[in-house]
A and B are shown apart, each in its own frame.
Chain A
Amino acid sequence: MAVPKSDLPQGTLDLLILKIVALAPLHGYAIAQRLEQVSRGVVQVPEGSLYPALHRLENRGLLAADWKVTGTGREAKFYRLTGKGRKQLETEAASWQRLIDAVALILGMADGGAR
């Protein structure tokens, strides 16, 4: 809890969800846990905005959902990536990568200049 948490940049929540779900179909709670794990507690994902995001993605056809029985014997809604979602994930990931590279490049340049 020592690392300061920063807010999630706009639009990245969708990308993260798509990425997490791409590995295996998961239910909402599992996605929330995975999010926390993978972001190592660095970014704050308000759980309250997770479900609206899931529903939005489902509505846009990027995710599909099925009700399945979990290991504990309860029924839960499992989200999985659709073909459309996979494509979306690829393009968004690529564009994020480009952005990150560009930002890194600029930061590195400024660094070099100061030296």
Chain B
Amino acid sequence: MGGLTGTGPAADGVDPQVLWARAYLSRVSEPANIPVWGFVGDVGPVEAVEAIRTGIAPREVLDATAARRPTADPDADLDAAERAGLRLVVPESADWPHFAMAALEYAGAERLAAYRAGGDGRHRESGEPIPPLALWARGPLELASLGVRSVGIVGSRAATAYGEQVSSEFAFALASAGVVVVSGGAYGIDAAAHRAALTAGGETVLVSAGGLDRPYPPGNATLFARVAEIGLLLSESPPGCAPQRHRFLTRNRLIAALSTGTVIVEAAKRSGARNTAAHCLALQRPLMAVPGPIVSPMSMGCHGLIRGDGGLGPALLVGSAADVLAVVGGAGEGLSDGADTGTVADVRAELDDLDPIARRVYEGLGARRFARPDEIGARGGVSPLEVIRALPLLELAGLVESSDAGFRIARRTRTRST
């Protein structure tokens, strides 16, 4: 076995032999290859690698790894990873996202059984629903925590302004509410989602189709770097790997798996986002889609998903970040007409802090007539400046409404008890 020395990129108690074997597997095998995954599951990674290298593995495993076997050099890959600040996370690691991968394990087991029974032996180009053999990672976010309160936001690279806006708004609001945003690294919807989440100070996971030392597209290199600072870059491919078409398709299953639910923001009729949607449904995770203008080709895919065309869907129609939060957030979040998202709850808490003054301001308000701060203050016995500082919070909490003539008690609260 190769000379893995020292601590290496993953030092969280993983047997160096196992780490080395997984690094080897991630190099010689294409992602999501059924025979290889099945064989590793049967005999364990170290023995599987030994069998592959000595040519005694089953024929379909040897076929699947034939192309790269001569050049595979896990030591070089692990060195390159260390230089690029990457770590290798394997199922044996404490940081492995078992929770998020459970659905893939389950779907993968079913798929493997069907494959071995000879029912559907052909390897699917669109990506088999099986867990990765290993993940290359960079960034401070803990991988193990994923899948609990996370949302996939994906869509077309050729997004319209509408798509990018929706993507940004959703990602910003969800990240602000503490939801981890998961997406690819492409232009358009993906990039907009990451940027907005980062702007909100939230955490994001960027799943790349190629090696993490080669940001693709190169124009998003800065975005990759920013995500690596706060969130997490993930890839199944070892360093130096070029992103090829089929790797995008297998990559999509990871986005679906790492997300509590996935939102398709914009997708043309034939779009990679439909592939992500298929993975999402195969994993029995909630699939959401954003409607758009019926004349926009970039929304056709979303409308198809909402209708359930071609057996895909039907996706849940979402029209606001609160709609999404109701699906991926905790129980009860985002449900009361969009007014009770995380930050609004914060505002209510803030109002409690200000309570004595805010209450007097509230008491100085009229039920019908709009009044300006001077008058409100005089009636409530508060200084006008305190009125000015309290009114925006009262308004946000839905207790006060305003017009250009001033402020009064909001109609909604006058008819229901608060």
Q: Do A and B come from one complex?
A: no
